[in-house]
Structure 1
Amino acid sequence: MTPERPPVTGYSVILPDDWARIPLRHGTQDAVRQILDEAFSRIPPGAPRDKVGAYERELERRLRATVTRAQHSNALDLYIPFRSRRNVNLGASLVVSETLLPRRRGSDAGAPTDVAVGLLSQEAAEGADLTSGDLDGALAVRREHVVRADPGRGAELASRRVEYVASVPDDPHRWFVAAFSAVGSGRPDDELADALVDWFDAVMTTFRWRRG
């Protein structure tokens, strides 16, 4: 008899050292403060104080706005590229979240592929490209599309979005979502955006469920 596997309690994914994780449930402000302090510490000592002050305020505003948007989506973690020799780069981000479906007595959750597509279809997407596969052995659906600029919500530029939605093993009511966003060099369809999407797909091959 095959022993029962421990339940999934989390995930792991391998990202470069210059990416920083911001937990969105606990310890958020400490993580934000650490990133800002490190960024500010790299400012040259002789830099004009008025320009330094404006830079610090704008960087903090943008970072906190990014964090707030992620928290409003009830996400678990936010990852941003944190360049070791320059500063925080908010041109790309990765938001990880979990979706819980209601448990209905006397009925199942539906076919996993249909559920995944339904979750991804909750928001309109222009020219969305949908494919299915697996994520560390679990069924997953990948969607790639372009999100229009929306200055009213803090999105000043259009972005390229890639989302992976995966059924958490052994629990059809839990779904893992990884949403990557990149603005490229200012256009979501330029060569840099293409390269970033390819990079993110490579990152997701390192994804593993954490158990026990």
Structure 2
Amino acid sequence: MEPNRLFFSDAPSPSGVGESLADRYSLRTLYTSRCSSLGMRCPLGCLLRQLPSEAGQGAADELRMLVLRDTYVPAKACQALTVLLPYCTGLEYIDLSNAGLRSKSGFMTGVNALLDALIFGVENHGVGAALHTIDVSFNKLSDRTGWRLVRLVQRQPHLRVVNTDGTEISDRVKTRIDEELHSSLKASVPPMLLGEADE
């Protein structure tokens, strides 16, 4: 494979004009290489099995959900996911419930890095454009992560469910998340239908 610098700059292939990393490598290969560059001995097996082994944007587009419920997800394993997001344009559902996530484990935690990629990547790459559900319940998450979830709802118009049950996110921030979700829903529903729903 080419050097890991490619994971920070999706450079065109010398052999194919306009090709992206997903055109040349499978998501499984990209994730494995990113884990290696972060110093992991091996990638997270249960996540690796959910990723397509075929190269090509078409294969990447078929990934609809990532389910890691009740599985310990190390911070680096979570950070490594960020390299995949620009190519997972059809990703709708992320379940990280009870995954051992923490808001305060290091300078940049895995979950916060993942949320930042979803927040700031949407304008440039359409990252997470199809995302409608994210579950981070029953993890040791603080308001530092909670405010990122607020911004995520503001940036991702299709997001409808954000589960923060069993976290250490304050009620004030949870309420703000719910308010942003409601506001986003109102903005997406035609006024006539919204009026019927409120009756």
TM norm. shorter chain > 0.5: no
Quick check: which one's helix share is greater? 2
Question: Larger C-alpha radius of gyration, 1 or 2?
Answer: 1
Quick check: which one's strand share is greater? 1
TM norm structure 1:
0.27
